[in-house]
Structure 1
Amino acid sequence: MIIFLALFGTLLLLLFIGVPVGFAMIGASISVLAATRGFDSIPYEMLAQRTLYGVNSFTLLAIPAFLLIGRLMNASGISDRVFNIARSLVGHLRGGLGHVNVLSSMIFAGMSGSAVADAGGLGPLQMRAMERDGYDRGFSAAVTASSATIGPIIPPSIPAVIYGALANVSIAAVFLGSIVPGVLMGLGLMALVAYLSHKRGYPIAKRATLRQIAAACSAGFLPILTPIIIIAGILSGIFTPTEASAIAVVYCTLIAFLVYGTITVREFWVICKDTAIDTAALLVIIAGSALYAWVLARYQVTSQIIDYLAANIDNKYVLLALLNVFILLVGCFIDSVPALFLLTPILTPLVVSYGIDPVHFGVMMIFNLMIGLVTPPVGTVLFTVQRVADIPFGHLVKEILPFYIPLFAMLIAITFVPWLVLAVPNLLLN
């Protein structure tokens, strides 16, 4: 336990003074090794081998692919087409553009797999449209931020790929297990939007005609096939999740170049370069987390934690409740992807020892960390939307407070009703 406190405490200290997450993990690992073995006895060859081993994974190739898909979607004007589909379907309801905001995020989630891509790509379009129709800027920003968290829930999902690779569980199962929670999350946000819109007297738009709905769906038909291709291909066994991400990249590139003609070769080069930079930053985190996990295993930290909790907690639901609080606190200070690399090697063996399905736990943890994206003080999505909306941060936090109600309600539901997560993968994979 002392080793765990030293590892975790050193990591938090390095993060607090501004060291990047990947290097902070490496620094914490080396510090503990130096304290227990001395600098002269540190196995530097083993350290290099473990960091390289962390990134030497075919599965992780899906991460740059999904990052590239998100950037292609934003740059090619596909966001506009997705928004128009949602507007034609639910724009006539009370607070219609709030519902459009949530529904378009649910559709876009099946393409990008990233909350930041949703907030940065669809977000400005959603907020401009809502303001033009008379919605408060703070309310528009709050709806946009909260709906962006659906991005990594509904498959495909970058966090799901990362969790599946780290926990050694089926990525397809994590994808499928996220469908019901993602849809229920969207419906919960739409219910809150309807209530607040009625209370504040927001406008009702004219119902779209069947011709307008058909036109919007026709214009956006090819992009919304992306998640269908991915999920259908994985379930049919034609390709793996990693291969599916590559196929989706080719498909989206062909749409952008040949069908819509909205991206030039120069723009595509810039998109690829930016994706490579994002991927490199993630690879440093992955390498650092691999070394961090190796040190945890070397000093049997995980088994000590399991033994300690087993002696004090005998109910798995009590354990899940405590872990939810712990993960939420971590998510408030560390971004979701680094948090996954930090927590998965420690917590997955623990929950499995209590008989908890790792797919259920993975979806619960990802969902929890998505709430962290819109929770101060670090909330990446919160700051992204605040910058785009150009409103005081305190005002945005005040406006988003009611939206925590459906988010936390859904987190409690998937925590204590595992069927919500496991029903779809059990039905389709078994």
Structure 2
Amino acid sequence: MIILLALFGTLIVLMIVGVPVGLAMIGASVAVLLSNRGFDNIPYEMLAQRTLYGVNSFTLLAIPAFLLIGRLMNASGISDRVFNVARSLVGHLRGGLGHVNVLSSMIFAGMSGSAVADAGGLGPVQMRAMEKDGYDRGFSAAVTASSATIGPIIPPSIPAVIYGALANTSIAAVFLGSIIPGILMGLSLMALVFIMSHRRGYPVSKRAKLSEIIAAIGAGFLPMMTPVIIIVGILSGIFTPTEASVIAVGYCMIIAFLVYRTISLREFWVICRDTAVDTAALLVIIAGSALYAWVLARYQVTSQIIDFLSGAIESKYLLLFLLMIFVLVIGCFIDSVPALFLLTPILVPLVVSYGIDPVHFGVAMIFNLMIGLVTPPVGTVLFTVQKVANIPYGELVREIMPFYIPLFGMLLAITFIPGLVMFLPNLLLR
């Protein structure tokens, strides 16, 4: 009991007072060692070894690569090309630019793998076009924020790489398992946009000509091939997910420097610097989570939790329901990446003990944490979109409320219909 209080109580207290998540996990781990061994018997060499072991991973090299891809895509003007492709395809529907907003986010998701990159890069393009065509700013911002959550669902996905590495699960399987949920998520958001646009009387644009569609797809064809290269390469066995991320970086650099010529060497230096800063922040979290996971295993905390729940909960579906509520609450206060590092070592052994496939659970947890990105009070994507749209936070929250209906509906479907997640991995990998 003392170990549990030291492990979780210290972590919560440190996070409440504003200590970064990675350092809070290190502090909680040290608190456990202090309570059990005393100050003089702390294995300092083991602390250093475990934190360094956490970041010494070939798989995690994909994270800075995908971060760099997202920044290259945003800086090279690809956002406009993606938006024009989507506009030519679905712009003629009722509430056309709302559908364009969602579809362009789905396309961009296959390039950046990040919800914040989508909201900050593609978001301004989407909202400017919608306001120009007479859409309310609040509605435009709400569609942009909700559709940005598709970014980490449709592969490639930074959270999927992190989860696969932490759970010792096939990243390719998590990628494939995310495709159908990501597409269904986009379609459900488009259905809501259609209903709301009809009620509010938003405009219908003229249908694009075939020549215009071909021209738009031609202009955006090269960047849209990025996810195809990644997925096909992984499934064919030509390269691993980590190698795929590096190859995709090289491909994006060729597009930006040689084809479109929209990035200078000075701008590229800034992009690399910002990517390095973001990566360093993630490495602190990774190091802290590695030490935290070691303490969990060393003192059999996860085993104690499993034994306790096994006696109280018999149904795996009840367990999934309770865990999804728990993950959602955590996601409302902690960003998705730190939450993954915190929760995965604890929850994956638990769900596996109930016979739940870790790929299925991983996709459901990532989906759940993406909802947390647009849920108060912390919601990173909400704050990003609010800053870009320059609207009051309360107005954005009020406008996004209807969009929780399809988001939570899809979460329930993914959680309790495993086939939505497991169909493609079972078909293509097993």
Q: Could you say which residue in structure 2 is the equivalent of 1:101?
A: 101
Whether the 8 Å contact between 2:3 and 2:35 is mirrored in structure 1 is no
Q: Deviations over 1:80-107 (max 9, x none)?
A: 0000000000000000000000000000
Partner Cα distance (2:422, 2:96) in 1: 32
Superposed, which structure 2 residues align to 1:122-137 within 5 Å?
Answer: 122-137=122-137
1:352 correspondence with 2:352:
yes
| TM, length-normalised to structure 1 | 0.99
**How far has the Cα of 1:42 moved from its partner?**
0.6
Superposed, which structure 2 residues align to 1:147-226 within 5 Å?
Answer: 147-226=147-226
Give the stretch that moved more between structures: 341-350 or 32-41. Answer: 32-41
**How far has the Cα of 1:4 moved from its partner?**
2.6
Q: Could you say which residue in structure 1 is the equivalent of 2:22?
A: 22
Question: Counterpart amino acid of 1:394?
Answer: G
Whether the 8 Å contact between 1:285 and 1:338 is mirrored in structure 2 is yes
Question: Counterpart amino acid of 2:381?
Answer: V
Superposed, which structure 2 residues align to 1:391-430 within 5 Å?
Answer: 391-430=391-430
Question: Counterpart amino acid of 1:313?
Answer: I
> Which SS does the other structure have where 1:333 is aligned?
coil
> Which SS does the other structure have where 1:93 is aligned?
coil
Q: Deviations over 1:371-429 (max 9, x none)?
A: 00000111000000001111110110000000000000000001000000000010011
Whether the 8 Å contact between 2:6 and 2:35 is mirrored in structure 1 is no
**How far has the Cα of 1:5 moved from its partner?**
3.5
Question: Counterpart amino acid of 1:203?
Answer: P
1:116 correspondence with 2:116:
yes
Identity value in percent: 83
What is the Cα-based RMSD across aligned positions, in Å?
A: 0.6
Superposed, which structure 2 residues align to 1:222-237 within 5 Å?
Answer: 222-237=222-237
Partner Cα distance (2:78, 2:3) in 1: 49
Q: Could you say which residue in structure 2 is the equivalent of 1:287?
A: 287
Question: Counterpart amino acid of 2:387?
Answer: R
Unaligned runs of 5+ in 2: none
Whether the 8 Å contact between 1:4 and 1:296 is mirrored in structure 2 is no
Superposed, which structure 2 residues align to 1:27-106 within 5 Å?
Answer: 27-106=27-106
| TM, length-normalised to structure 2 | 0.99
Aligned length: 430
Partner Cα distance (1:232, 1:293) in 2: 33
1:297 correspondence with 2:297:
yes
Question: Post-superposition, which runs of at least 4 consecutive aligned residues in structure 1 deviate over 2 A?
Answer: 1-6
Whether the 8 Å contact between 2:68 and 2:272 is mirrored in structure 1 is yes
Partner Cα distance (1:237, 1:325) in 2: 37
Question: Counterpart amino acid of 2:380?
Answer: T
Q: Could you say which residue in structure 1 is the equivalent of 2:309?
A: 309
Q: Deviations over 1:262-290 (max 9, x none)?
A: 00111111101110000000000000000
**How far has the Cα of 1:10 moved from its partner?**
1.1
Partner Cα distance (1:371, 1:325) in 2: 12
**How far has the Cα of 1:3 moved from its partner?**
2.2
> Which SS does the other structure have where 2:238 is aligned?
coil
> Which SS does the other structure have where 2:93 is aligned?
coil
> Which SS does the other structure have where 1:178 is aligned?
helix
**How far has the Cα of 1:2 moved from its partner?**
4.3
Q: Could you say which residue in structure 1 is the equivalent of 2:268?
A: 268
> Which SS does the other structure have where 1:375 is aligned?
coil
Unaligned runs of 5+ in 1: none
Question: Counterpart amino acid of 1:376?
Answer: P
Partner Cα distance (1:3, 1:248) in 2: 44
Question: Counterpart amino acid of 1:130?
Answer: M
Question: Counterpart amino acid of 2:339?
Answer: A
> Which SS does the other structure have where 1:364 is aligned?
helix
> Which SS does the other structure have where 2:214 is aligned?
helix
Partner Cα distance (1:11, 1:394) in 2: 30
Q: Deviations over 1:325-381 (max 9, x none)?
A: 000000001000000000000000000000000000000000000000000111000
Question: Counterpart amino acid of 1:404?
Answer: Y
Whether the 8 Å contact between 1:88 and 1:208 is mirrored in structure 2 is yes
